[in-house]
Amino acid sequence: MSLAHFGELIWESYRQDSILQPLWDYLRLHHCDTLRSPLFPVFLSVSSYFIFCLPYLLCDIMGDRWPAVYRYKIQPSKMPTHTMFLRCASITLRNHILLVFPAAVAQWAWRPPIPLPEQAPTLLELVGGVAGNLLLFDLQYFIWHLLHHKVRWLYVTFHAIHHEYSAPFALATQCLGGWELVTVGFWTTLNPVLMRCHLLTTWAFMLAHVYVSVEDHCGYDFPWSTSRLIPFGIYGGPSKHDVHHQKPNTNFAPHFSHWDKLLGTHADFSFVKSQEKIY
Ligand SMILES: [Zn+2]
Ligand SMILES: [Zn+2]
């Protein structure tokens, strides 16, 4: 037996032991039609967006009546108002009616149902796939974002709408122009295909991406925020993106810190974290 063949056997036995197999089998056998539908990824990202926004929205509505939560607000003097909630919700609704819904119908009409593989991904493949997709999107959006701040016409025409609020809040995540939404949707759909990810990995990435995007805008730096959970300042999280909304020519990368540090656009956000000591 050659060494390559032996390695293949080890890999196969490792794959067969995936702890995700029972979950995948359950989904595949009981919800096959739903999961194969081209509409499923759209449903997953839209519903998860509103579910992830909900707790933060509640925190904003309660404000200083919940001091235990309010102490983590990054800019406590700038609480969002009902008018701001309504404006963002109406922009999100408009984008969904004009762009997301037609794109979903087009997918449903033209794309055949996706076959579901029998094998689940290993946990390592899933985590690696999600991290790889986040890293690739981070680079793509960094370039897009930098261009749309540096070229005045691009900023005014496409990105200024996202900078209406210097103190972000969860519902402002999708306060986007149509072009930005289409670009983000294009990459998050295409990247997992390019990286040949398993469908379960693709959906896990979509959920992770929606979660971190909402968290970036939530306006709170909780002890469980991603920037605190991931060590060595690798990950920016809500404080870093909050600073981008305060100083729009800094912190262009949506998730990680390395591109801003390498290209000199990094702005310190550690002062944001020290604010909670005031309360
Ligand atoms: Zn933003
Ligand atoms: Zn920006």
Q: Can you give the residue ranges of every domain in the chain?
A: 33-112+121-278
- Cα–Cα distance measured from residue 208 to residue 202, given in angstroms and rounded to the nearest whole number: 10
Q: How many Å lie between the centroid of ligand 1 and the Cα of residue 21?
A: 37
Q: How far is CA 26 from the centre of its chain?
A: 26
Closest ligand (CA of 176): 1
Place 277 in a pLDDT band, splitting at 50, 70 and 90. Answer: very low
Closest ligand (CA of 144): 2
Instruction: Yes or no: say if 36 and 240 are a contact pair by the CB < 8 Å rule.
Output: no
Question: What's the pLDDT tens digit per position in 119-151?
Answer: 999 999 999 999 999 999 999 999 999 999 999
- Cα–Cα distance measured from residue 239 to residue 218, given in angstroms and rounded to the nearest whole number: 9
State mean pLDDT over 222-243: 89
Q: How many Å lie between the centroid of ligand 2 and the Cα of residue 216?
A: 12
- Cα–Cα distance measured from residue 30 to residue 34, given in angstroms and rounded to the nearest whole number: 9
Q: How many Å lie between the centroid of ligand 1 and the Cα of residue 74?
A: 14
Sign of CA dihedral 194, 196, 198, 204: negative
Q: How many residues does the chain have?
A: 279
Q: How many Å lie between the centroid of ligand 2 and the Cα of residue 77?
A: 22
Q: How many Å lie between the centroid of ligand 2 and the Cα of residue 5?
A: 50
Closest ligand (CA of 158): 2
Of 210, 255, 169, which Cα lies nearest the Cα of 43?
210
Closest ligand (CA of 155): 2
Please check the confidence at residue 252 and state whether its pLDDT lies above 90.
yes
- Cα–Cα distance measured from residue 111 to residue 100, given in angstroms and rounded to the nearest whole number: 16
The amino acid that residue 102 corresponds to is P
- Cα–Cα distance measured from residue 229 to residue 67, given in angstroms and rounded to the nearest whole number: 23
